[in-house]
Structure formats: C-alpha cells, structure tokens
Amino acid sequence: MAEGRISADQMREYLRMYLVIGSVNCQEYPLRVLEEALAGGVTLVQFREKGPGSLAGEARLALALQMQAACGRAGVPFIINDDVDLALRIGADGVHIGQDDEDPARVRARIGNRLLGVSAHTAEEARLAASHGADYLGIGPIYPTVSKDDAHAVQGPGILRELRGAGIDLPLVGIGGITPARAGEVIGAGADGVAVISAVTGRPLGEIKAAVKEIIGQMECLK
C-alpha cells in the first residue's frame, strides 16, 4: 500500500460522531442497530465485543465481518478494540487500544498505516501515545458511564481543556457518558468529536437514527 498515515484533518472528521458498539450494548439485533446509526450519520465505528455475555470465537468473527461490511457500504471506517489479530485477519481500517493493552509502538509496527487510537488520561500518557504513533487519543471518562466496568475516575470536560493547554494537538475524542445534551460541552472543551455507546445503542430500534442526528445537531449548533 503506497498510501501513508491518515492526515490529522481527515482524522478529526472521522472522530466527529464516533460509535463504539458490541452485541452486549444492544437490546437486540446489533447489526440493525449499527445500520440505523450509520443512516443517522456516524463517521467512525469501533467494534468492542467485550465483557460479560459478549460473543467469542466464530460468532464474534461473524459479527465483526457483518459490521465491517455494513460500514463498507456506508463508506465509514471500521476499527477494532484491542485485538490486533482480528483487525489484521479481517483487514479492518484500524485498532483502538487502552493503556493496559499491547504497547502502541508495537501495535503501530504490526498495523502499518492503519488507524491507531489510544486511550489516554493525562498529558504524559497523551505525549507518549503520540510519540508511539497514535493517530488520535480517546479521552475519558468525561462523565459517569455504565458501559465500562473498569473505567478510570470521571475526569469532566476540563481534562480536554487541560490537554489542549498542555500543547497536545493530536486529534482528540471524548468518551464516557456523553449524551446529546452534553455533546456541545465536550466539543467546546477541545474535543474534535464524541464517542458514544449507550446514547445510541441503548435506544430502541426505530429511534437510533434520530439519536445520532440529535447528537450531530447539538455539535453543529456550535459552529
């Protein structure tokens, strides 16, 4: 592949309305949840099949492939949480890793120019991730979340201002407890986009597209 790493500007556009999704987050039919969300205008999708009741083995692979195909039809990049082997096996567009996962420099070496997102909680973690080849940083939890058992302490939107003030200019996405009503505050504090699980996947089928549009609408009010 002759193409190089993604530009920061393109990365910022992808981060705008970032959906994190796994079967345990959805009340039913995860693929339909995803398809509705894509129709609402999601700009990046992370497959995060984790936690009690999550799929394993062939079922996990099959769902990843179906979701990848749906994203392909919508022209939206599809990345994998914390599983470089799966990402490489299916030719995903990238990987997102936490601080306790594989080392970012090693992941970068394995995935070439694919997207690499890293969760960071402090300016030091942010700088280190940037120097190890992260294309963007996930910052959270901004607000209390019910979707991640081992989440760090709630940081508040101030963490985004703090990181920007410390000179971190990498694309940033806020995550954790973000609702339509809070999306504007997250962007106002310095994030390029919002990453959500429950504000979208927790809604019943038929309301998901509108939920995505509502979040996008709240961010556009700021322009």
Binding residues for Mg(2+), by number, are: 82, 101
Is 157 a binding residue for ligand 3NM by CB under 6 A? The answer is no
Whole-angstrom Cα distance, residue 167 to residue 88? Answer: 33
Whole-angstrom Cα distance, residue 48 to residue 64? Answer: 9
Task: Take residue 122 and report the two structure tokens written for it.
Answer: 């402090």
Our answer to whether residue 148 is catalytic in this structure is yes
Under rule CB under 6 A, how many of the chain's residues touch ligand 3NM?
Answer: 18
Q: Which of 170, 196, 215, 219 binds ligand 3NM (CB under 6 A)?
A: 196
Is 151 a binding residue for ligand 3NM by CB under 6 A? The answer is yes
How far does Cα 216 stand from its chain's mean position? 15
CA angle 142, 132, 151 (to 5 degrees): 25
Whole-angstrom Cα distance, residue 7 to residue 221? Answer: 26
Is 26 a binding residue for ligand 3NM by CB under 6 A? The answer is no
DSSP string for residues in 126-154: HHHHHHTT-SEEEE--SS--SS-TT----
Smallest gap from residue 215 Cβ to ligand 3NM (A): 11
Q: Which of 94, 140, 180, 190 binds ligand 3NM (CB under 6 A)?
A: 140
| CB neighbour list of residue 85: distance below 8 Å, 6 or more residues apart | none
Our answer to whether residue 119 is catalytic in this structure is yes
3-state secondary structure of 57: helix
Q: Which stretch binds ligand 3NM (CB under 6 A): 69-77, 83-91, 159-167, 192-200?
A: 192-200
Q: Which of 23, 43, 147, 218 binds ligand 3NM (CB under 6 A)?
A: 147
Indicate the residue among 84 and 196 with the shorter CB distance to ligand 3NM: 196
Q: Which stretch binds ligand 3NM (CB under 6 A): 57-65, 137-145, 165-173, 206-214?
A: 137-145
Q: By Cβ distance, which residue is nearest to ligand 3NM?
A: 140
CA angle 39, 205, 176 (to 5 degrees): 80
Residues of the shown chain interacting with ligand 3NM in the complex, contacts defined by CB under 6 A: 20, 119, 138, 140-141, 145, 147-148, 151-152, 175-178, 196-199
Q: Catalytic residue positions? A: 48, 119, 148
